[in-house]
């Protein structure tokens, strides 16, 4: 048969690369190959055209069923398994140059589970670690009365969720608007951008837990390491897209992404762990002054 | 003619059947004004109030026992109710009051905050489990998550009693152990019910938010500092 080449199993990476090259390329579903093996290929292929269309959209992964008011619409964003989520988390902490997060890990199946629960965990880990570090830094002080500082959770939630939803919106909007005329690379969808940003925040969770250790140089080192890792995931993801633009635009875009990311890290550290500034002097006379400064800073 | 005679002879015996005398027919054709409900939906209007209240209390108490010994039984799932979660939530929120209230800003969670965290958290976890394709229904999941807060409420009561004796390091260690044990118990009890409704490759995705939810509640209990 002349179409056995089309029907043999192809490596998934190739297929996704081909799809990114030309999203309208016809793909062959497994049911088609089975039908042709049975020998009634003409009839079966006609009947399977609808299935083939569905398989196309499933491979592209971006056509949820139903309108945005139905439950099924959102269910299509949670179509992941444990192994896939673990895979994506691993990919977000180990950026390898040339390995595009969206192409290699997401593979046209972005999900909302990862970004949402990573943001929730980050909110609580930052608030709890900040509370613990405040407590530890004033452990020996007898006049210190422990306070849970529960309002920090609200502030952390607002900041992190706004970052994780507004910055991808701006990035996606900008890149879609500036898409080059001969762009061979299709721009990422909004969901994929949100996904990349959400997974890139994962490294801040262990970082915020390590920030409890009251060593100033360690905290700045941790900020540097986590911003570099997380920022490089973002840079490697967006590099192929901005490659078509002029060098200045490309450099500015990537730089803005990095600056915003490091601002988030430094801002979190400064606000939630700001007692580190005062931990240098062990003199007891200055401690009560510092506690009043701390409480007034709120 | 002969056939007509033959057929009429066959029905001969019926001609003198008198319906009104030989076959007694009795009954009432009219519809009865009040339909006696003989199905299982019995009316609770006729029983004393004590019976109605006690029945619901017994159902709630039965579910508490199921949380204490979490076996894979269907009782919690089949007859869900939200009285138990409401009771536990209000108790926990009330017990978390009376903390360090000298400064409104840095104090513990307010009553409304505890309420919102528990109910909103349960809602988010239920939505998450349904979006991942779980077979458990919405209110069943809320019911399970609410009832499994019970070990943490017990831990809160124990913590307050321990705090009456002072708030030194020993009391902190005791409280830490109690809260950790009850947090583990809550998570284990709820996953015994919730994880069954998911396919194998997504169980961890459903269990993690439950773990986070009870961890946050445990944290709120552990950091409760009494007013001085």
Structure ipTM over 0.90, yes or no: no
Test B223 with A146 for CB contact under 8 angstroms.
yes
Interchain proximity B107–A83, CB inside 8 Å: no
Q: What pLDDT band is residue A12 in, cutting at 50, 70 and 90? A: low
Q: At what angle do helices B83-95 and B138-147 cross, to 10 degrees?
A: 40
Restricting to B residues 188-217, those with a Cβ less than 8 Å away from any Cβ of A are 201-205, 208-209, 212, 215-216
Chain B from 124 to 153: CB within 8 A of any A CB = 128, 130-133
CB contact under 8 A, A148 and B106: yes
Residue A82 in contact with partner chain B when CB distance is under 8 A:
yes
Distance, in Å, from the CA atom of A238 to the CA atom of A188, rounded to the nearest integer, reads 9
Residues of A in contact with B126 (CB under 8 A): none
8 Å CB contact of A298 and B100? no
- For chain B, 228 residues long, the average pLDDT of each consecutive 10-residue run is 55 61 69 53 76 85 79 69 89 80 59 87 90 84 89 91 82 91 90 78 87 91 75
Is the pLDDT at A117 greater than 90, yes or no? yes
- In Å, how far are A2, B58, B189 from B65, measured between CA atoms? 68, 11, 11
Q: Which tokens sit at A259?
A: 């600056």
Q: Which residues of A touch B106 (CB under 8 A)?
A: 147-149, 151, 295, 298
What pLDDT, on a 0 to 100 scale, did the predictor assign at position B13?
65
Over the stretch A123-152, which tens digit does the pLDDT of each residue have? Answer: 999 988 888 888 887 776 766 677 777 778
Dump pLDDT digits (tens) for A62-86.
455 667 788 777 888 888 888 888 8
Number of H helices, E strands in chain A: 15, 0
**Residue A54: pLDDT above 60?**
no
Alpha carbon of A243: minimum distance to chain B alpha carbons (Å)? 36
Interatomic CA distance for residues B118 and B89, integer angstroms: 7
Residues A140-186 pLDDT 10s = 676 667 777 777 888 888 989 999 888 889 888 888 887 755 555 66
Interatomic CA distance for residues A89 and B200, integer angstroms: 20
Contacts of A30 (CB under 8 A, 6+ apart): none
pTM, entire model: 0.71
The predicted pLDDT at position A58 comes to 42
B114: closest chain A residue by CA? A150
What would the pLDDT profile of A239-277 be if each residue is shown by its tens digit?
Answer: 877 777 778 878 888 888 888 888 888 888 888 776 543
Q: What percent of chain A has pLDDT over 70?
A: 65
């Amino acid at each position: 048969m002349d179409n056995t080449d089309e029907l043999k199993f192809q490596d998934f990476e190739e297929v996704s690369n081909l799809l990114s090259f030309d999203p309208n390329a016809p793909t062959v579903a497994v049911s088609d190959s089975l039908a042709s093996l049975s020998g009634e290929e003409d009839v079966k292929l006609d009947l399977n055209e609808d299935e083939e269309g569905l398989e196309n959209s499933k491979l592209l992964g971006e056509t949820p069923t139903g309108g945005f008011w139905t439950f099924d619409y959102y269910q299509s964003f949670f179509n992941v398994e444990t192994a896939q989520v673990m895979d994506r988390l691993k990919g977000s902490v180990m950026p390898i140059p040339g390995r595009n997060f969206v192409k290699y890990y997401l593979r046209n199946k972005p999900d909302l589970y990862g970004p949402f629960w990573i943001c929730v965990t980050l909110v609580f880990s930052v608030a709890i670690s900040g509370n613990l570090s405040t407590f530890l830094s004033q452990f020996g002080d007898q006049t210190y009365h422990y306070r849970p500082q529960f309002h920090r959770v609200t502030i952390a939630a607002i900041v992190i969720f706004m970052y994780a939803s507004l910055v991808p919106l701006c990035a996606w909007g900008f890149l879609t608007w500036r898409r080059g005329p001969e762009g061979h690379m299709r721009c990422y969808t909004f969901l994929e951008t949100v996904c990349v940003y959400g997974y890139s925040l994962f490294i801040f969770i262990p970082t915020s837990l390590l920030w409890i250790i009251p060593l100033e140089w360690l905290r700045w080192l941790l900020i540097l390491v986590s911003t570099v890792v997380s920022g490089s995931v973002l840079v490697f993801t967006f590099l192929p897209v901005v490659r078509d633009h002029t060098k200045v635009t490309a450099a500015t875009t990537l730089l803005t992404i990095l600056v915003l990311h490091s601002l988030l890290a430094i801002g979190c550290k400064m606000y939630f762990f700001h007692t580190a500034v005062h931990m240098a002097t062990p003199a007891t006379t200055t401690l009560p002054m510092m506690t009043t400064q701390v409480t007034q800073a709120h | 003619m002969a056939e007509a005679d033959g057929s009429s002879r066959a029905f001969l015996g019926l001609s003198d059947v008198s319906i009104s005398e030989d076959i007694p027919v009795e009954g009432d054709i009219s519809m009865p004004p009040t339909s006696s409900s003989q199905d299982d939906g019995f009316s609770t209007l006729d029983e004393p109030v004590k019976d109605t209240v006690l029945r619901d209390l017994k159902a709630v108490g039965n579910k508490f026992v199921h949380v204490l010994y979490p076996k894979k039984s269907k009782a919690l799932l089949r007859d869900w109710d939200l009285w138990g979660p409401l009771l536990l939530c209000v108790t926990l929120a009330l017990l978390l009051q009376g903390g360090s209230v000298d400064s409104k800003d840095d104090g513990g969670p307010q009553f409304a905050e505890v309420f919102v965290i528990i109910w909103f958290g349960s809602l988010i976890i239920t939505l998450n489990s349904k979006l991942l394709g779980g077979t458990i229904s919405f209110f069943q999941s809320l019911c399970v998550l609410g009832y499994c807060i019970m070990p943490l409420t017990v831990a809160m009561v124990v913590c307050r009693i321990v705090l009456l004796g002072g708030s030194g390091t020993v009391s902190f260690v005791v409280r830490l152990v109690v809260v950790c044990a009850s947090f583990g118990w809550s998570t284990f009890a709820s996953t015994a019910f919730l994880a069954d409704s998911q396919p194998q490759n997504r169980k961890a995705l459903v269990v993690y938010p439950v773990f986070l939810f009870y961890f946050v509640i445990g944290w709120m209990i552990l950091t409760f500092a009494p007013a001085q």
